[in-house]
Amino acid sequence: MKNKFYAYIQNLQDTITAGLEKMDGQAKFKEDIWERTEGGGGRTRVIENGAVFEKGGVNISAVHGPLPKAMQAYFNVGDVDFFACGLSLVIHPKNPKVPTVHANWRYFEMYDKEGNTVNQWFGGGQDLTPYYLFEEDAKHFHQTCKTACDKHNPEFYPKFKKQCDDYFWNAHRNEARGIGGLFFDHCKASEEFTLENWYDFVTEVGNSFLEAYVPIVEKRKNLEYSQENRNWQEIRRGRYVEFNLVHDKGTLFGLKTNGRIESILMSLPPHVQWVYDHHPEAGSEEEKLIKILENPIDWL
């Protein structure tokens, strides 16, 4: 399974980077291949200063070795070995009317000292972070997520949508990071749903990514915007940074397993503002977004 899924994310990285380059029309992804001392490595691809995308990364990695002490405590296990592979992406567009997007699909295995597999699971999801709210974009993104889920289980979309709203919650701000999507983790084999079934589901969601995001970019990338719009985008990007550095488990896992710092922090946008005690104007488009982020809704 680990070889099968790693082959899948290698192909998916190629598909997604090609699709995003075509959409940008100017910038190309730069590739950086790296190795991890303890075992494994990855292929980082970053796009910067494009016509559409200000900064973005589409990274894959496959790492293995002894599970570090900090992570043993987190998983509540003893001295075990692990293998983890996944694709992680974050795209920050230039135009404030185009939303930031994040997605991740991953697979994890744990082994005892004899090399027997003692645990294995899938995780992942995709979510949207707009700076200006276009309801049709939110509906399109969520409908694409639901369509992918419904092919495998009609209960998946409502369950994983709620998990996404719960996970991407900036507790210290009492607001969501964005308008959600899907989040699933520890998806293990059971009598009803085998590991192969989970593979089929996770790859279905991965394959739906460009369909979920590209039409939104196409529709918004040429809209006019002001310096005030740009300031707002940078203030909201600050909240994005706060979530990634304070709450995100993937960032934490990378930092605690001696992950590659450049790849872990590629999710951070290039231009950000933190304005003291900032509140948007009453009745403005900016305030409308905040009200939605304080109370996540069912877009469908």
Helix/strand/coil for 118: strand
Contact (CB, 8 A) for 216 and 140: yes
Whole-model pTM?
A: 0.96
pLDDT digits (tens, 9 = 90+) for 85-102: 999 999 999 999 999 999
Domains and CATH numbers, the chain: 2-294 (3.40.1500.10)
Query: What does the pLDDT profile of the chain (300 residues) look like in tens digits?
Result: 999 999 999 999 999 999 999 999 999 999 999 999 889 999 999 999 999 999 999 999 999 999 888 788 888 898 999 999 999 999 999 999 999 999 999 999 999 989 999 999 999 999 999 999 999 999 999 999 999 999 999 999 999 999 999 999 999 999 999 999 999 999 999 999 999 999 999 999 999 999 999 999 999 999 999 999 999 999 999 999 999 999 998 888 788 777 788 888 988 999 999 999 999 999 999 999 999 999 999 999
What are the residue numbers of the active site? 102
How far out from the chain centre does Cα 102 lie?
A: 3
Would you state the pLDDT for residue 258?
A: 74
Do residues 245 and 261 lie in contact, with contact meaning Cβ atoms separated by under 8 Å? no
- Which pLDDT score, from 0 to 100, does residue 256 have? 79
Condensed to tens digits (0 to 9), the pLDDT of residues 157-168 reads 999 999 999 999
Label residues 77-102 b or e (16+ Cβ within 10 Å = b). Answer: eeebbbbbbbbbbbbbbbbbbbbbbb
